[in-house]
Amino acid sequence: MHTDHKRSIPLILLTGTTAIAVAVGLVLSLTSPPDAFQGDFARIFHVHVPSAWIAFLAFGFTAVGSLGWLIRKHHICDLFAASSAQIGVVFTGAAIISGSLWGKTVWGTYWDWSDKRLTTTALMFFVYLGYLAIRHATDDPLQRANRSAFVGIVGALQLPLVYFSVRLWRTLHPGTTITPGNIDMDSEMLRAFLANLFAFTLAFMTLLVFQIRLETARHESTQTETLPAGAGIEPPRLGQE
C-alpha cells in the first residue's frame, strides 16, 4: 500500500500540472488580442493546431509501438501503440471539427473535398478508425497485435503526406504559419499558442499513461479469464491422508 502510494505521486503531479496548464492555455487563448484580419475567429487556431499536432504525435507513437511489437513481441509495445492510436483518433476528430468551424468563418464552408489537407486528414482519421476496428475483429491477442502493428506502420506512411500536403498543393488550407526562424505572429498570440501547445502535449502524455494502465488492466483480466477450464484446481492427493 505504501509502495502504491509512492508510485502514484508522479502521476498525481502530472495530472495536476496538466490541469493547470490546460486552464492557463484556455485563459490565454480567450484573453489574447484578436487577429487584425480574422478578429476573434483566429482564436480557433489555439485549439485547432495543437489538436492536429497531438494527432501526428500520437500516430507517430503508434508506429513506434507497432515496430516495437514486431521486433520484441512484448505485449506492452502493442498496448502502447493501441493506446496512442485511440487518443490520436480523438484529437484528429477534435482537429477536424474545430477546423471545419474555422473554415466556415473564414472560407464560408465547413468542408471542401478538393482541399488536399482536409481530404488527407479525413483519410488519416478513417485509417486509424480502421486500426481500432481491426483490434476488435479478433479475440486472439497475438493475431490482434500482428494485424494492428501492420496497419500502425503502413498508416504512418501517410503522415508526411498529410503534413506536406499544404506545400505540395496550394488549395484552401493555409500553409505552415510557424517554422523555426520564421514566426509571423504577434507576441501575445504566440504566447497563447505555445501555452496551448504545451498544455495539449501534457494532456496527451497524461491520457496516454492512464490509457496504457487501462489497457494493461484489461489485458491482465483477459489472461486470467482465458485460463483453461480447471487450471486453478489442484488434483486430489490420494493416499496422503
Partner 1 sequence: MNGSLVAIAFVVVYGTIGVYAIWLAWALHKVRKRR
Going 39 to 40 to 46 to 49, the CA torsion angle's sign is negative
Residues 99-128 vs partner 1: string with x where CB under 8 A? --xx-xx-----------------------
Q: What φ, ψ does residue 15 adopt, rounded to 5°?
A: -65, -45
Are residues 161 and 120 in contact, defined by beta-carbon separation less than 8 angstroms? yes
Are residues 79 and 223 in contact, defined by beta-carbon separation less than 8 angstroms? no
176-235 binders of partner 1 (CB under 8 A)? 203, 206-207, 210-211, 213-214, 217-218, 220-221
Q: Considering beta carbons, is residue 94 or 156 the nearer one to partner 1?
A: 94
71-100 binders of partner 1 (CB under 8 A)? 87, 90-91, 93-94, 97-98
Q: How far is the CB of 179 from partner 1 (least distance, A)?
A: 24
Q: How far is the CB of 28 from partner 1 (least distance, A)?
A: 13
Q: How far is the CB of 135 from partner 1 (least distance, A)?
A: 15
User: Strands 178-179, 182-183: parallel, antiparallel or unpaired by DSSP?
Assistant: antiparallel
* Amino acid in position 36: A
Quick count: other Cβ atoms within 10 Å of Cβ 3?
7
Closest by CA to 46, choosing from 29, 24, 28, 27, is 29
Q: Considering beta carbons, is residue 29 or 165 the nearer one to partner 1?
A: 29
For residue 10, the cross-strand partners are none
Q: Considering beta carbons, is residue 59 or 91 the nearer one to partner 1?
A: 91
Q: How far is the CB of 70 from partner 1 (least distance, A)?
A: 27
Q: How far is the CB of 217 from partner 1 (least distance, A)?
A: 4
Alpha carbon distance 196, 27 (integer Å): 10
Q: What φ, ψ does residue 137 adopt, rounded to 5°?
A: -80, -20
Q: Considering beta carbons, is residue 29 or 119 the nearer one to partner 1?
A: 29
Q: How far is the CB of 71 from partner 1 (least distance, A)?
A: 28
Residues 11-50 vs partner 1: string with x where CB under 8 A? -----------x---x--xx---------xx-xx--xx--
Q: Considering beta carbons, is residue 110 or 126 the nearer one to partner 1?
A: 110
Are residues 50 and 196 in contact, defined by beta-carbon separation less than 8 angstroms? yes
Alpha carbon distance 165, 162 (integer Å): 5
Residue written as grid cell 506502420: 153
Tell me which residues touch partner 1 (CB under 8 A).
22, 26, 29-30, 40-41, 43-44, 47-48, 51, 87, 90-91, 93-94, 97-98, 101-102, 104-105, 203, 206-207, 210-211, 213-214, 217-218, 220-221
